[in-house]
């Protein structure tokens, strides 16, 4: 049974080898909701990585991506906080709705694709992990990441498109994970975003954490705004609602803030300008990779659908530039690495690239905005 995972790698393999069906989730709900005290033994990340690599041995090796050092001044005296943002592609949508015409169905098999996702997470070792399109939270991410030392939170969409796909694994949503040995949870809010005073199908999670090493508070948020062309005003309204919520949670930016998300919006859209010009004094971390520090990357998603090729910048990590420094950021995949068939592929599990940044607190916490 799924709940009797033990210490050994052979038992660990069974966690990877099995994926619960939707009906199995309900059958095992009592098992999935055990209190923390009844959780199973911790996993050594090296063992899990080894098991993933066994499953992936017929696939090409993971792409090499390097961190770009962005520190302008001497490093602080505390370990940086590594934050990872990633729309991992809901399994039900990848197989059932997204029509990636150049991606073989075999490349989307969950048994292998989940190992590619886990391999990427294990490679970058984030302290905080923000995911969108998570539809295997209860049977994969929560059981495994909790045993790797993360505290886990999931907020599904009220009407997930995954539920329209036969043999789905339940709704997709946003998930937030942080290492319990580095941070203490002070406050957590699940936010259903509104637009034009109406509740929408998009959500966010915002958590106030205390850094155990420095004692400093900060807020981490994850969101996924409405997709598709023609919904620009709707996304703008959702962005305004999220900013209003975050102003309240951070007491008007007294608490530093990091927001990760798939905004489904290019930098030319109104919602991007709202975040850029917010009173929360936010900057987009990945702009710092550009020569002038003012331009977003050329793409964070690249796919081919029946309607044609889509190459867009939609994913962002926003941060309080008065309170936080970006020490480094993970470089993006090159066009050559992505290849002519684009994403997802046998090499890469999602149609979106993961973004990873290392943050440090400004040494002067009382510095004015």
Rounded Cα distance between 353 and 362, Å, is: 28
Task: Look at residue 23 and tell me whether its pLDDT is greater than 70.
Answer: no
According to the model, what pLDDT value does residue 369 have?
Answer: 41
Q: Residue 262 is part of a domain; what is its CATH number?
A: 3.60.10.10
Q: Which residue has the higher pLDDT, 308 or 246?
A: 246
**DSSP string over 75-115:** --SSPPEEEEEEE---HHHHHHTS--TTS-GGGG-HHHHHH
41, part of any domain: no
The verdict on residue 289 lying in a domain is yes
Can you tell me the distance from the alpha carbon of 100 to that of 312, in angstroms, rounded to the nearest whole number? 15
Each residue's pLDDT tens digit, 236-278: 999 999 999 999 999 998 999 999 999 999 999 999 999 999 9
User: Does the pLDDT value for residue 15 go beyond 90?
Assistant: no
pLDDT of residue 32 exceeding 50: no
Q: What is the average per-residue pLDDT within 342-366? A: 91
pLDDT range class, residue 363, cuts 50, 70, 90 = confident
Sorting pLDDT into bands at 50, 70 and 90, what band is 98?
confident
The pLDDT assigned to 73 comes to: 62
Task: Find the mean pLDDT for residues 59-68.
Answer: 94
Instruction: Residue 236: give the domain boundaries.
Output: 77-328+337-364
- The answer to whether residue 159 sits within a structural domain is yes
Residue 21 covered by a domain? no
- Count the domains in the chain: 1
* Pick from 62-76, 103-117, 182-196, 308-322: least confident: 62-76
Q: Tell me the average pLDDT of the chain.
A: 89
Percent of the chain topping pLDDT 70? 87
What pTM was computed for the model?
0.90
In the prediction, which pLDDT does 64 show? 92
Q: Is the pLDDT of residue 87 over 70?
A: yes
Report d(CA 302, CA 363) in Å as an integer.
38
Greater pLDDT, 6 or 235 = 235
Alpha helix (H) residue ranges in the chain: 9-17, 22-27, 29-32, 45-55, 91-96, 110-124, 142-147, 232-249, 270-276, 335-338
67 lies in a domain?
no
């Amino acid at each position: 049974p799924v709940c009797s995972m033990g210490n050994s790698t052979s038992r660990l393999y069974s966690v990877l080898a099995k994926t619960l069906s939707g009906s199995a989730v309900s059958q095992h709900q009592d098992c999935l909701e055990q209190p923390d005290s009844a959780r199973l033994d911790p996993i050594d990340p090296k063992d899990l990585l080894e098991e993933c690599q066994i499953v992936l041995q017929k696939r090409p090796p993971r792409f090499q991506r390097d961190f770009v050092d962005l520190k302008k001044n001497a490093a602080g005296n505390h370990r940086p906080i590594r934050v990872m943002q990633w729309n991992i592609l809901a399994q039900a949508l990848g197989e059932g709705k997204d029509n990636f015409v150049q991606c073989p169905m075999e490349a989307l098999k969950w048994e292998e694709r989940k190992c590619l996702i886990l391999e990427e997470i294990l490679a970058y070792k984030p302290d905080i992990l923000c995911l969108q399109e998570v539809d295997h939270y209860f049977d994969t991410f929560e059981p495994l990441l909790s045993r790797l030392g993360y505290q886990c939170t999931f907020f599904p969409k009220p009407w997930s498109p995954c539920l329209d796909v036969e043999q789905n694994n339940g709704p997709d949503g946003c998930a937030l994970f942080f290492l319990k040995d580095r941070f203490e949870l002070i406050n957590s809010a699940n936010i259903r975003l509104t637009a034009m005073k109406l509740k929408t199908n998009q959500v966010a999670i915002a958590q106030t954490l205390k850094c155990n090493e420095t004692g400093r508070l900060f807020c981490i948020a994850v969101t996924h705004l409405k997709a598709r062309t023609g919904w620009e005003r709707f996304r703008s309204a959702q962005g305004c609602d999220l900013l209003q919520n975050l102003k309240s949670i951070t007491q008007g930016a007294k608490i530093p803030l990091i927001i990760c998300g798939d905004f489904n919006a290019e930098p030319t859209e109104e919602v991007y300008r709202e975040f850029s010009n917010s009173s929360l004094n936010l900057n987009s971390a990945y702009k710092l990779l550009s020569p002038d520090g003012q331009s977003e990357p050329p793409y964070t998603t690249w796919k081919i659908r029946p309607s044609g090729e889509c190459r867009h910048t939609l994913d962002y990590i926003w941060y309080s530039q008065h309170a936080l420094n970006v020490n480094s950021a993970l470089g993006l995949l090159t066009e050559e690495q992505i290849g002519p068939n684009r994403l997802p592929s046998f090499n890469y599990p999602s149609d979106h690239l993961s973004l990873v940044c290392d943050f440090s607190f400004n040494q002067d916490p009382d510095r004015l905005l």
